Chains A and B, each alone.
Chain A
């Protein structure tokens, strides 16, 4: 028996793991109960079919397991290191891809189409592309290039749109001037023809006192009316740049009612005025606002007078109420007069549009009122039915903040 034990050889080992016949090897777990009590594995391998002898190799389990554990730890550490490295590397890699993309999207977001079209020199839209076409390599660069082209196309389209819009506005203004000129021509032609005919007749018979008096009265009225038309037209064409200040609504409306006093007594109506406390103050140009209310209340009076003339039993009513609606002040002027036909409603604010008898209206009053309110950043809303009265709601911003983009005539 040859062995590698440094001390004595425990003879029991030979029989602890006997090799069975016809087997290549056997492994048996053996426990040395006398000494360290640590289990070991004994491997028995026959030499030359067992005729020469058997080699036993003993391995202590704890030592083997320690070795295995060491390898496990090494592998685990290596895996961890690789994962960590992968994470870090992929982070930086993705950063290198997403950062240009983020910059690109930021640049696209900041593109100002109303500018000159080209992005600013330091924009990533340029940087990503670089100066030389050779640098166009990555997908991101190509994307940036496409974006840049798209921005240029968009800018061109935007400029074209703006130009078209300006042309449209100019055309609209021209057509408005045309409407005004046509209305003016109609309004002026008849009295002018009348004046000419009167002058011709007076020249032929200058000493006809009776004729002279009749003609002069009529001519004076004609001239006055023409003057009103011209003055109204000037008011209309003059840009309304309101002087916006805090205006006490109730005193203003009372002043207006004084001014239109004769109209009210003509219509035999005593108006109800109610200004709610939260609508005490509006923001506007008091003179212009007076003109607005004056025009609308005068119209209401005309309508009421007409109804009264038609039906003596008619009881005219005129209600003026002001109240706050959120950020707006609404002043409603409602009458129970003749009302406005559905055909007339959409044309109400057109210059020279009038439903009144000749001489009593220029057709400019409501047009001017509408223009004034619009230049205050407000609006006039009309609702009416023929025979059921009319309601004009003048909507004004509560503070100096406009409800609508103030439109200016130039």
Chain B
């Protein structure tokens, strides 16, 4: 089961991807939501999405909404720079 990682911050994305890989999971990462959605449409091998919340072009919320429409069984993990959980949940 693959992990799809979306984050516009390069340092965070590549280091998190390495963390997940070390934990024994397959990772594919994208710097923005639209190409990640394209991947989801093309391949059905993603089980978990790890995404940033605040991104230009498309924010985390609309990305997740569209991703859930493609596959309602997806597990979601939000990574956010916001200090509080309220905005994230």
Contact = CB atoms under 8 A, between A and B. Distances in A.
A357 B10 CA distance: 13
Interface stretch (A76-84, A195-203, A255-263): A195-203
B15 interface: yes
A190 B31 CA distance: 13
B9 A214 contact: no
B61 to A, nearest CB: 15
A355 B57 CA distance: 7
Interface in B11-53: 11-16, 18-19, 31-32, 52
A99 interface: no
Contacts of A277: none
Q: Name the interface size band of chain B.
A: 20 to 34
Contacts of B55: 358
Interface residues of A, number: 24
Interface stretch (A54-62, A158-166, A217-225, A236-244): A217-225
A222 B7 CA distance: 13
Contacts of B52: 190
A354 B56 CA distance: 8
Nearest to B55: A358
Contacts of A222: 9-11
B81 interface: yes
B8 to A, nearest CB: 4
A201 B18 contact: yes
A198 B14 CA distance: 8
A407 interface: no
A171 to B, nearest CB: 24
A194 interface: yes
Contact of A215 (B8, B14, B81): B14
Nearest to A192: B81
Given A355-B56, A356-B56, A357-B56, A197 B10 contact: no
Contact of A214 (B14, B16, B31, B32): B14
A400 B9 CA distance: 45
A351 B68 CA distance: 33
Nearest to A195: B11
Q: Output the residue of A189, A190, A219 with the most chain B CB within 10 A.
A: A190
Nearest to B16: A197
Given A191-B12, A218-B14, 14 more contacts: A190-B81, A194-B12, A194-B13, A197-B11, A197-B12, A197-B15, A200-B15, A215-B15, A218-B11, A222-B9, A222-B11, A358-B8, A358-B56, A359-B8
Interface of A: 186, 189-191, 193-195, 197-198, 200-201, 211, 214-215, 218-219, 221-222, 354-359
Interface of B: 7-16, 18-19, 31-32, 52, 54-57, 81-83
11 contacts: A189-B81, A189-B82, A193-B9, A195-B11, A198-B14, A215-B15, A218-B11, A218-B14, A222-B9, A354-B56, A359-B10
